[in-house]
Structure formats: C-alpha cells, structure tokens
Amino acid sequence: MMRLICIFISFALFLVFIMLNLDNKSNIHLGFVVFDEVPVYITAFFSIFLGMIVSIPLYAVFMKRKPKPEKKLKPGKKDKNIPKHPEFFDDIPRENGPYGID
C-alpha cells in the first residue's frame, strides 16, 4: 500500500513539474544533431527513462553475485583456518621469561 502511495505522490510531483515548465524550452546538442526548442519536461522524462534502462544490466550483474553462505562447524570440530601454533613467534628471541619481562 505504501508503495502505491509513493507512486501516486511521485506522479503528482512530475505533473506539477510539467505544468510549471510548459513554456520553458531548451536546445539539445548531441554532437552531430541539434534539437531546437525541446520542452524541459520531455528532457527530464527521457533522462529518467534512460537512467532506468542503463541500470537494468547493472542490476542483473549484481544480482548474480550473491555472497557465499558460511559453513557452520559441527560441535567438537575446530576451524582448519586457525593455526594451532603461530610459527612466526619462534624467531623472536626470549629473555628471562616467556614475555621478556623480569
């Protein structure tokens, strides 16, 4: 229901925008073609429409990438990625105790 209300509100705002800009015209240059005196609301409509069309392939690409579900460990099993003993601590010289503190 809320979605329908939002659609009606956005449609009403778009109609108000059209009514306020009926007399405003602009020239659109596409590099090799020039469209003279195009109403501003048509420019806005096609800009929004083109943005929706461009976003469809991007949406399809990102929907294919779903995060892999994490594996749950069974009770009593340890994670294999955690090392049992950090080997890089073996190269550190130790003095007077395990932490080098007297």
pLDDT tens per residue across span 3-36: 888 888 988 888 888 888 888 898 989 889 998 9
Confidence of residue 84 (pLDDT cuts 50, 70, 90): low
d(CA 48, CA 41): 11
* pTM recorded for the entire structure: 0.47
Per the rule left: phi > 0, alpha: psi between -120 and 50, beta: everything else, 37 is left
> pLDDT category, 55, cuts 50, 70, 90?
confident
